[in-house]
Structure 1
Amino acid sequence: MNVKIRVIALAAMGAGISSSAAGQASSSLGVELGVRNHHVVAGMPFAAGSVTRAAATGTSGRLTLGGLVVYDHDLGDFGEADVFAQADVELTPGLAAFVGGSVNNFNLVGGWQTTFEAFAGLAVAAPMNPVVMVVHDFDIGDGTHALLAVGHDVSMGPVTLSTSASLGYNRSYYSDTSGFAYADAGVAAALPFSMVTLTPSVTIQRAIADTFQHLEIVGLTASVTF
């Protein structure tokens, strides 16, 4: 999953289910800095090559605010800057809904351009923690993307191994494609070092639609949670 969708999905599972199940609000602030050989959004590369990405996410109770900036190494400049807000609600024990919106800014030919998105979804506290979400872009992307994602974490002493997989459906979202577009599977290992956690990751994406690409995405992220 791309970083923003993964943050949204994890926030939905965490804030929407865990905190309500515990019967109390939770607050946290997380920041991360990472490098990847591809910057992929909804199965599509949004940079020509490798990128450095910085993200911050703050959660208080059922509200999550986040931001992302992407430095495009080939461009030699920042290529993307986004902010999003999300609210969660528990529908039944173990089932949460989330809804939100984002303002996305892209450094395109001719300068920065802004687009707006709205998203909504469901997260289930069940084996493989399934998440279903739909994103609609009202301007530059001018389309809809739907995602089914699953994931599972395994603790091995201080190390947490995370596996994930997702299936993407596109309806004219940043492309002319309508239909199932791609599937991916990934693994990441969270290695704690004092306050900082280093997480190497590998994701294999396979195209379903002809207009999408087979991609191997490799990254390393350093993160801190307060």
Structure 2
Amino acid sequence: MTELTPSADDRGAPNAPPRSVAPGIAVLLPPGWVVLHMDARASDEVKSIVTHVMKTVVPDKRDLARARLRAMLQNLVAKSQDSGVWEVWLPISETAGIHIPASVAVAPLPKQPAAGATMHDTLLSLSAASAGSRAVTVGGVLAVRVVADRLAQYDESGELTAPATRLVNYIVSPTAPGQPWITFTASLFVPGTSDSAEIVEALEFLCDALMSSVSFSPKEPTE
């Protein structure tokens, strides 16, 4: 699973808003995808995901697979909650016969703009800070789309510890007065194959399609 949470440098930022200010977020997900909420719903949702996935595992391997998947999801929830992530969108089964190596984490922007900064000045600053960024709208709200690549990581013995990943960040301005800036971070696995560019391009297209379906409401998520 690709990285889903803000980096350690961004955790605990003094300007990070409390979780309770999250707006209601709706998205149209592909078949095989779910939303894992990082609040009181997480435990039941983890159980539901594990139960669903185990239906595809042969009986003699279910015990080990169940334990590993449960531990992985519980670790994801713990890290996400520690980082202030509100929810994660992830595939738990194939979509049209394909397992999509991507996921999206939704969180308040770790470092909120300084008090007094206008929305347009902030958007311009975010755009100028990253080459190739572009203005977009998410749920009818102004946003900036920023792409960053992370190289594969290896340990001293040459073993792969983290795969190459493309991060597509959609930084969304406040959806209503008093709401925080939001970041939707799509983590895309970059395969080490000759057709990797085409695969990543298709994954980016999928992410843009997901974001085009997002809508916001004032309702706050369950704590």
The normalised TM-score by structure 2 is: 0.36
Higher normalized contact order (CA 8 Å, seq sep 6+, divided by chain length): 2
Greater share of helix residues, 1 or 2?
Answer: 2
Greater share of strand residues, 1 or 2?
Answer: 1
The normalised TM-score by structure 1 is: 0.35
